């Protein structure tokens, strides 16, 4: 089937055929899940010819290709997005309606591909969408986790994790490519042997291995015939099980390899912004990197023969340090398999690799114990030793022998392998993800490295895809924007600026606010269905959705809710715009304090929502299992976007951009991309409060901050903090939230109130009062909201990807023609 010519009748018949073949049923007997599968396969048929044509075109034009390497791709659902990008959404919607089905309900049958944790994984997914839409040859390369990010249940206010069985019913869009399998080797030892010519050769022996099998997923560009590939590697045992032919030793090994294969791709590690030094995690990293690098080199050699030309045709992008083994693995392949000398190989590696840093949180920095690393990856470790030796020599060359500096910068130090340092040494480009973040890297975290390689450092402010987060997630607003300024914004988001003049037009304001209202009704229905809570769509929807982390300060948000509730109890007639505070967040299963904050939010919700005396002025909702699919509904319905991380801690944030695009007004700190958001929309159209990054970094250095001073002098703060331990929100167990109380006032191991929640509290409460005042004036509010949407142009991942492509990857666009 061809996307531009497929008729409704043909598509309908494809659905009937699929249901018949797969389920031995007719459409009237099929379940919604079966209809979803049938539709997805029919869509795949449209995709497949373009997919083949895209790769044929790349092959013919011998185009330079980026391999975006990432442990996470948080894709969400594919069907709706594919329909939109293929521009067959309306046709399919009509076909389904004629068959008595609602497209939304069918889309709801698809499980999210939860193969990522949070912002880092979602960014990778947005990048793939932009790469395909902008016609850049690209692969995403990652792992086909059997279980993605856990499913969150809230039981008695607590987070409970359930396995995410996203592949249970199969994945209709994927294609298994067993012919591209690769062997990946672990453990063992490396022996040096001399060949007949006296040349040294390295032999890896006594290793265990697995076979990596790629599963390809189509990444459909918007309205352009391009279909790129997300290649997710699965693991299988190398030997097939033929017990009879094994002697004892082989049998043992076969069983071990079977187990290794099974465990390696079993589950995504559920930590966000936190490193967990587990051996299995390192295995996962090497597994998909080795498979990818070997396969890319093999393909390149088949076409070009001369490996020295690799950097002209291939670029590997390392998404945070998780894929950093690309650097030593490519060295290994170039030297041990291709016979290159060190110098040649190193020059190729540096030209081919680029690295993005996504955090300055020290607990997120990967540092592997040398003991573990060298045992699991002996040859890779040897190579890193040599990289480190030469790197240290370079430092001495440039700065003289300064031991303190060497200790700070060495890749191997303190018994650890410092992965970020390896990335900086082995890449030609190092970038941060928002201007402030890059400045902090250059001036603080990585200043030694900046002094060594100033030219490598650059900024690429993050972005999001407007195709998913406006066109698909908010069809009412998308249609409205298109009616006003045409549909150019779909592939050129700055065109959305065209609605700015309407921000003062009363009729347009009314339309805009009516759409927001309808989206709030949609979310209210979702909340009623999933939480059983009634919320008033006329109240202000104030939303904080993101992973739970102390630095993101969900705690400050809920403490402020507690404060408002105190005020309302003192004065139920208080003049206040009704507010609904909406939270959504998964906490890493091992992050006790984060899970306790979830419990606190739920207990506060319980008390507040059931108090008849506050005239429904305050509601609190915790949305269970926050993920890409419900995020789309949430962003569309938000009035206020909470972006309140401690300044300097959030590298960029990307949720902030999705809210802005959907006409929510930011209440936020001068952190990450909030700074650039405020710059674009104007400080009068957002609510900025609190300490700046410079102030935070200064106060951290001084170590002079004492939260007790605030506690003693600020009655509102003292009252809410005391409510953490007086049983107000936990009558059965007044000690329940003691840990949170202690973290704010006493620290214990870490500095008290290390994220400056009490310090920023007053400023935050003040900003909220301003929100309340602004919302009363609906004309003013409509204007602000509209200007937020109008000013979101910069934050398209299309802009980000253009910058990467031009400045780091040096890619050319390749247009795919389909002969009809
Ligand atoms: C995250 N980093 C940052 O915390 C976010 O601010 C940023 O928006 C995203 O990356 C995308 O750049 C991480 O998750 C990690 F892994 F680096 F800690």
Residue 248 above 80 pLDDT?
Answer: no
What pLDDT score does 199 carry? 85
Whether 768 is catalytic is no
- Determine the Cα–Cα distance for residues 634 and 672; give it in Å rounded to an integer: 22
Indicate whether residue 271 lines ligand 1 (CB < 6 A): no
Indicate whether residue 652 lines ligand 1 (CB < 6 A): yes
What confidence category does residue 195 fall into, taking pLDDT thresholds of 50, 70 and 90? Answer: confident
Q: Which of residues 532 and 177 earns the better pLDDT score? A: 177
Whether 185 is catalytic is no
What pLDDT score does 201 carry? 86
Other beta carbons within 10 angstroms of residue 559's beta carbon come to 25
What pLDDT score does 100 carry? 98
- Determine the Cα–Cα distance for residues 417 and 325; give it in Å rounded to an integer: 11
The string of pLDDT tens digits covering residues 474-527 is: 999 999 999 999 999 999 999 999 999 999 999 999 999 999 999 999 999 999
Which structure tokens are listed for 713? 């002098």
> Angle at Cα 139 formed by Cα 677 and Cα 367, nearest 5°?
70
Which structure tokens are listed for 598? 């979830």
The string of pLDDT tens digits covering residues 135-176 is: 999 999 999 999 999 999 999 999 999 999 999 999 999 999
Q: Which atom of ligand 1 is nearest to the CA of 358?
A: 17
What is the CA(781)–ligand 1 centre distance, in A? 31
Residue 792 above 60 pLDDT?
Answer: yes
What single DSSP character describes residue 686? Answer: S
What are phi and psi for residue 353, nearest 5 degrees? -105, 140
Indicate whether residue 125 lines ligand 1 (CB < 6 A): no
Average pLDDT over residues 784-801: 99
What is the CA(755)–ligand 1 centre distance, in A? 17
Reduce the secondary structure of 419-463 to three states and give it as a string.
HHHHHHHHCCEEEECCHHHHHHHHHHHCHHHHHHCHHHEEECCCC
The answer for residues whose C-beta is within 8 angstroms of residue 191's C-beta and 6 or more apart is 202, 203, 205
What confidence category does residue 748 fall into, taking pLDDT thresholds of 50, 70 and 90? Answer: confident
Indicate whether residue 800 lines ligand 1 (CB < 6 A): no
What confidence category does residue 196 fall into, taking pLDDT thresholds of 50, 70 and 90? Answer: confident
Average pLDDT over residues 101-119: 98
What is the CA(383)–ligand 1 centre distance, in A? 29
Residue 7 above 90 pLDDT?
Answer: yes
Whether 317 is catalytic is no
Alpha helices in 475-505 (DSSP H): 475-485
The string of pLDDT tens digits covering residues 199-241 is: 888 999 999 999 999 999 999 999 999 999 999 999 999 976 5
Distance from the Cα of residue 446 to its chain's centroid: 23
DSSP string, 557-619: HHHHHHHHHHHHHH-TT-----EEEEEE-PPPTT-HHHHHHHHHHHHHHHHHHT-GGGTT-EE
- For residue 466, what is the enclosing H or E element? helix 466-466
The string of pLDDT tens digits covering residues 683-739 is: 999 999 999 999 999 999 999 999 999 999 999 999 999 999 999 999 999 999 999
The string of pLDDT tens digits covering residues 306-358 is: 999 999 999 999 999 999 999 999 999 999 999 999 999 999 999 999 999 99
The residue annotated as part of the active site, out of 133, 229, 646, 654, is 654
The string of pLDDT tens digits covering residues 395-434 is: 999 999 999 999 999 999 999 999 999 999 999 999 999 9
Nearest to 771 by CA among 663, 674, 665, 662: 665
What is the CA(467)–ligand 1 centre distance, in A? 22
The residue annotated as part of the active site, out of 274, 317, 472, 552, is 552
What is the CA(71)–ligand 1 centre distance, in A? 13
What are phi and psi for residue 49, nearest 5 degrees? -65, -40
Residue 247 above 80 pLDDT?
Answer: no
* C-beta separation of 239 from 210 below 8 A: no
Residue 245 above 60 pLDDT?
Answer: no
What is the CA(119)–ligand 1 centre distance, in A? 5
By most ligand atoms within 8 Å of CB, the mutation choice from 69, 270, 273 for ligand 1 is 273
Indicate whether residue 367 lines ligand 1 (CB < 6 A): no
For the chain, give the mean pLDDT: 97
Average pLDDT over residues 176-194: 96
Check if the interface score ipTM surpasses 0.85. yes
Residue with token string 């739970």: 548
Average pLDDT over residues 95-108: 98
Same CATH fold, 466-486+504-692+756-798 and 8-427?
A: yes
Q: Which of residues 242 and 96 earns the better pLDDT score? A: 96
Instruction: Look up the CATH architecture of domain 8-427.
Output: 3-Layer(aba) Sandwich (3.40)
- For residue 357, what is the enclosing H or E element? none
Q: Which atom of ligand 1 is nearest to the CA of 122?
A: 11
Residue with token string 């919302």: 775
Indicate whether residue 360 lines ligand 1 (CB < 6 A): no
Average pLDDT over residues 387-394: 98
The string of pLDDT tens digits covering residues 365-387 is: 999 999 999 999 999 999 999 99
Domain-by-domain residue ranges, the chain? 8-427, 466-486+504-692+756-798
The residue annotated as part of the active site, out of 12, 472, 546, 599, is 546
* C-beta separation of 643 from 676 below 8 A: no
Residue with token string 């929309």: 681
Nearest protein Cα to ligand 1, atom 2 = 358
Buried b (16+ CB within 10 A) or exposed e, 287-300: bbbbbbbbbbbeeb
Q: Which atom of ligand 1 is nearest to the CA of 356?
A: 12
Residue 244 above 80 pLDDT?
Answer: no
What pLDDT score does 236 carry? 97
Instruction: Look up the CATH architecture of domain 466-486+504-692+756-798.
Output: 3-Layer(aba) Sandwich (3.40)
- Environment class of 53 (CB within 10 Å of its CB; exposed 0-12, middle 13-18, buried 19+): middle
What confidence category does residue 758 fall into, taking pLDDT thresholds of 50, 70 and 90? Answer: very high
The answer for residues whose C-beta is within 8 angstroms of residue 169's C-beta and 6 or more apart is 33, 37, 111
* C-beta separation of 552 from 507 below 8 A: no
Indicate whether residue 462 lines ligand 1 (CB < 6 A): yes
What pLDDT score does 19 carry? 98
Whether 253 is catalytic is no
Residue 279 above 70 pLDDT?
Answer: yes
- Determine the Cα–Cα distance for residues 584 and 568; give it in Å rounded to an integer: 24
What is the CA(226)–ligand 1 centre distance, in A? 28
Indicate whether residue 359 lines ligand 1 (CB < 6 A): yes
């Amino acid at each position: 089937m061809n996307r531009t010519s497929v008729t409704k009748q043909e598509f309908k018949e494809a659905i009937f055929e699929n249901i018949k073949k797969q389920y031995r049923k007719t459409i009237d007997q099929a379940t919604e899940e079966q209809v979803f599968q049938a539709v997805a396969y029919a869509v795949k048929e449209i995709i497949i010819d373009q997919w083949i044509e895209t790769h044929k075109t790349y092959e013919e034009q011998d185009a330079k290709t980026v391999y975006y390497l990432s442990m996470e791709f948080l894709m969400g659902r594919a069907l709706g997005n594919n329909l939109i990008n293929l521009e067959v959404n309306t046709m399919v919607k009509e076909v389904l309606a004629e068959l008595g089905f609602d497209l939304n309900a069918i889309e709801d049958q698809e499980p999210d591909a939860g193969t990522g944790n949070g912002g880092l994984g979602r960014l990778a997914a947005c990048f793939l969408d932009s790469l395909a839409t902008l016609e850049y040859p690209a692969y995403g390369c990652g792992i086909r986790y059997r279980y993605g990010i856990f499913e969150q249940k809230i039981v008695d206010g607590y987070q409970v994790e359930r396995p995410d069985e996203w592949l249970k019913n199969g994945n209709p869009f994927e294609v298994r490519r067993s012919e591209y399998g690769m062997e990946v080797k672990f453990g063992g030892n490396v022996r040096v042997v001399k060949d007949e010519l006296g040349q040294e050769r390295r032999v890896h022996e006594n290793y265990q291995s697995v076979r990596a099998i790629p599963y390809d997923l189509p990444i459909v560009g918007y309205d352009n015939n391009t279909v790129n590939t997300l290649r997710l590697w699965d693991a299988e045992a190398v030997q097939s099980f033929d017990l009879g032919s094994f002697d004892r030793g082989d049998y043992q090994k076969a069983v071990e390899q079977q187990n290794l294969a099974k465990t390696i791709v079993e589950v995504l590690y559920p930590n966000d912004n936190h490193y967990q030094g587990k051996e299995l995690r390192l295995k996962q990293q090497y597994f998909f990197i080795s498979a990818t690098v070997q396969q890319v080199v093999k393909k390149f050699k088949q076409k070009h023969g001369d490996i020295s030309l690799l950097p002209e045709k291939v670029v590997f992008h390392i998404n945070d340090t998780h894929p950093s083994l690309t650097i030593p693995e490519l060295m290994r392949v170039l030297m041990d398999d291709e016979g290159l000398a060190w110098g040649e190989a190193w020059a190729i590696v540096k030209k081919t690799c680029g690295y993005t840093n996504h955090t300055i949180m020290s607990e997120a920095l990967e540092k592997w114990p040398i003991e573990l690393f060298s045992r699991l990856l002996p040859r890779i470790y040897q190579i890193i030793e040599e990289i480190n030796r030469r790197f240290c020599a370079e430092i001495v060359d440039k700065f003289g022998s300064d031991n303190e500096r060497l200790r700070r910068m060495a890749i191997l130090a303190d018994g650890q392998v410092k992965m970020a340092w390896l990335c900086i040494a082995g890449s030609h480009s190092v970038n941060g993800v928002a201007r402030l973040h890059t400045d902090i890297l250059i001036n603080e975290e990585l200043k030694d490295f900046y002094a060594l390689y100033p030219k490598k450092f650059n900024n690429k402010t993050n972005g999001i895809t407007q195709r998913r987060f406006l066109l698909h997630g908010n069809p009412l607003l998308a249609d409205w924007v298109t009616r006003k300024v045409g549909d150019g914004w779909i592939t050129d988001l700055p065109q959305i600026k065209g609605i700015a003049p309407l921000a003062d037009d009363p009729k347009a304001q009314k339309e805009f606010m009516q759409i927001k209202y309808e989206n709030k009704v949609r979310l209210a229905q979702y909340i009623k269905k999933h939480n059983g809570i009634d919320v008033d769509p006329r109240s202000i929807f104030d939303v904080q959705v993101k992973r739970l982390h102390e630095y993101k300060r969900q705690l400050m948000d809920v403490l402020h809710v507690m404060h408002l509730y105190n005020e309302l109890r003192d004065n139920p007639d208080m003049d206040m715009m009704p507010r609904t505070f909406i939270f959504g967040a998964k906490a890493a299963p091992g992050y006790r304090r984060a899970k306790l904050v979830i419990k606190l939010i739920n207990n506060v919700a319980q008390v507040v929502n059931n108090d008849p005396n506050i005239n429904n002025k305050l509601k609190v909702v915790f949305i269970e299992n926050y993920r890409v699919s419900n995020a789309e509904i949430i962003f569309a319905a938000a009035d206020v976007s909470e972006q309140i991380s401690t300044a300097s801690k959030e590298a960029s944030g990307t949720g902030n951009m999705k809210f802005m695009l959907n006409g929510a007004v930011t209440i936020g700190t001068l952190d990450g991309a909030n700074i650039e958001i405020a710059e674009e929309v104007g400080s009068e159209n957002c609510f900025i409060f609190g300490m700046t990054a410079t102030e935070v970094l200064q106060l951290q250095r001084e170590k002079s901050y004492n939260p007790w001073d605030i506690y003693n002098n600020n009655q509102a703060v003292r009252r809410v903090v005391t409510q953490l331990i007086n049983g107000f929100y936990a009558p059965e167990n007044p000690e329940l939230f003691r840990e949170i109380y202690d973290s704010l006032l006493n620290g214990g191991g870490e500095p008290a109130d290390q994220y400056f929640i009490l310090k920023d509290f007053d400023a935050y409460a003040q900003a909220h009062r301003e929100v309340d005042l602004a919302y009363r004036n609906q004309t003013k509010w409509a204007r602000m909201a509209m200007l937020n949407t109008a000013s979101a142009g910069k934050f398209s991942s299309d802009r980000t990807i253009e910058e990467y492509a031009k400045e780091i990857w040096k890619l050319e666009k390749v247009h795919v023609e389909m002969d009809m």
